[in-house]
């Protein structure tokens, strides 16, 4: 795609996202719970039902998965959850200034197992730095994967980060996701945002 066209497409997507966020976040608390790559929304719908004081936003880049998630929450009449078709970096970069992330879930993200594709993984130092700029002091990032090398690599990034620290805390809420049900085994990390920038 020529550069100018790509820039125009990105600008249109950004404008659409900003207007969706304005609607979805109107009158919602400033601190948000975010699930990145929420798939069919099983986890977030169950979480929202048991955490009525939190506003929960689920994002994914696959439309039909989100449509199922939306159906589920409409049926359950959950007022504190919304799903948006958008990419993680795009969402975080464009989060309105009056909102911050307090709980962030990344559950069974795409593992990009081939070595030359590792750079496409979501949990990377640059993304952790970006998340830190949009998160509340003391925010928690909850990461779970069934891919051992991804888990190890992410642990290294958490340890090396000046903003995020691995903490020894229990997983906050159990509800198997679609990919968790398929996994033979998995590992979890809880990571806390330090107070200092
Ligand atoms: C392996 S699936 C896991 C889905 C769900 N979390 C589960 O455990 O069943 C990974 C999901 O992340 C979504 N995804 C991948 N990259 C993403 C990105 N950059 N931003 C938002 N969602 C993304 C994919 O579309 C997919 O639905």
Other C-beta atoms within 10 Å of 46: how many? 19
Give the pLDDT score at 168: 98
Q: Which atom of ligand 1 approaches the CA of 107 most closely?
A: 6
CA of 7 to the centre of ligand 1 (A): 24
Confidence band of 36 (pLDDT split at 50, 70, 90): very high
Give the pLDDT score at 53: 97
pTM of the model: 0.96
- Catalytic, 110? Answer yes
The set of long-range contacts for 178-182, using a CB threshold of 8 Å and a minimum separation of 24, is: 178/39, 178/40, 178/42, 179/39, 179/107, 179/108, 179/146, 180/107, 180/108, 180/144, 180/146
CA of 162 to the centre of ligand 1 (A): 26
Give the pLDDT score at 170: 98
- In this prediction, residues 154-163 reach a mean pLDDT of 97
CA torsion sign for 18, 135, 145, 75 is negative
CA torsion sign for 40, 176, 181, 186 is positive
Confidence band of 195 (pLDDT split at 50, 70, 90): confident
Whether the CB-CB separation of 102 and 139 falls below 8 Å is answered with yes
**What φ, ψ does residue 98 adopt, rounded to 5°?**
-85, 10
What are the chain's domains?
3-193 (3.40.50.150)
């Amino acid at each position: 795609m020529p550069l100018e066209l790509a820039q125009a497409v990105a600008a249109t997507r950004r404008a659409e996202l900003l207007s969706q966020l304005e609607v979805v976040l109107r009158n919602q608390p400033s601190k948000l719970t975010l699930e990145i790559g929420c798939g069919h929304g099983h986890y977030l719908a169950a979480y929202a039902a048991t955490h009525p004081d939190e506003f929960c936003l689920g994002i994914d880049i696959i439309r039909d998965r989100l449509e199922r998630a939306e159906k589920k929450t409409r049926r359950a009449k959950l007022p504190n959850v919304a799903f948006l078709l958008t990419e993680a970096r795009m969402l975080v970069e464009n989060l309105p200034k009056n909102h911050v992330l307090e709980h962030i879930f990344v559950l069974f993200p795409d593992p990009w197992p081939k070595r030359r594709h590792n750079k496409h993984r979501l949990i990377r130092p640059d993304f952790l730095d970006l998340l830190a700029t949009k998160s509340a002091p003391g925010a928690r990032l909850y990461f779970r994967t069934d891919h051992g090398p991804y888990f190890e690599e992410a642990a290294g990034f958490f340890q090396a980060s000046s903003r995020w620290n691995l903490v020894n805390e229990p997983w906050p809420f159990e509800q198997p996701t679609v990919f968790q049900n398929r996994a033979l085994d998995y590992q979890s990390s809880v990571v806390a945002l330090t107070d200092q920038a």
